[in-house]
Amino acid sequence: MKVFSLLSLVCCAVLTGCGIPDTVKEQDNTTAIEVSADTARTSLDWNGIYKGTVPCSDCEGTQVLLELKQDGTYMQSFSYIGKVSATVMDEGNIAWNTAGNEITINDMRYFVAENHLILLDANTENSDEPKKYILYKEPAM
């Protein structure tokens, strides 16, 4: 019995002496905070080509083609259905909000979700048919 008690005491002393230094514990806590701060920007495969037709105030609809590039730039085109006009093209830089879940391109805001973008503005937020404001990501080729 004395041997068992002595062995237990030695094991406890060894394990207590092998504790993790405070600096390592702090690093682990920092890492946990960084990992839990996932956003659409950091955790979704958001780059790619998105297509959809959204409502238009003076035409039958607007066909939107939007390419989001990994380097933070975009290319987009608008074609107006039922209206005699040329396709409007634009390119530039993507602006992310601080939460990392919305992008702004010119005066248009999009909520970034898995394989689709939702166009946000005063009209879409109060719309009875929010599905009309979604651009779907094209499968990668």
Q: Same domain, yes or no, for 54 and 88?
A: yes
Overall domain count for the chain = 2
Q: Are residues 131 and 97 in the same domain?
A: yes
For residues 16 and 82, state if they share a domain: no
Q: What is the pLDDT of residue 123?
A: 54
17: pLDDT strictly greater than 80:
no
Indicate whether 74 and 117 sit together in one domain.
Answer: yes
**Same-domain pairing of 28 and 67:** no
Mean pLDDT of the chain: 76
Q: What percent of the chain has pLDDT over 70?
A: 66
Spatial CA neighbour of 55 closest among 137, 139, 130, 140? 130
Whole-number pLDDT of residue 140: 77
Residue 24 identity (one-letter amino acid): V
End-to-end CA distance of the chain: 71
State the pLDDT confidence band at 130, using cuts at 50, 70 and 90: low
Torsion angle of alpha carbons 86, 102, 57, 137, nearest 10°?
60
Verify that 79 and 122 share a domain, yes or no. yes
Are both 126 and 91 inside the same structural domain? yes
Predicted confidence (pLDDT) at residue 52 exceeds the cutoff of 60: yes
Q: To 5 degrees, how large is the angle CA 28–CA 32–CA 35?
A: 135
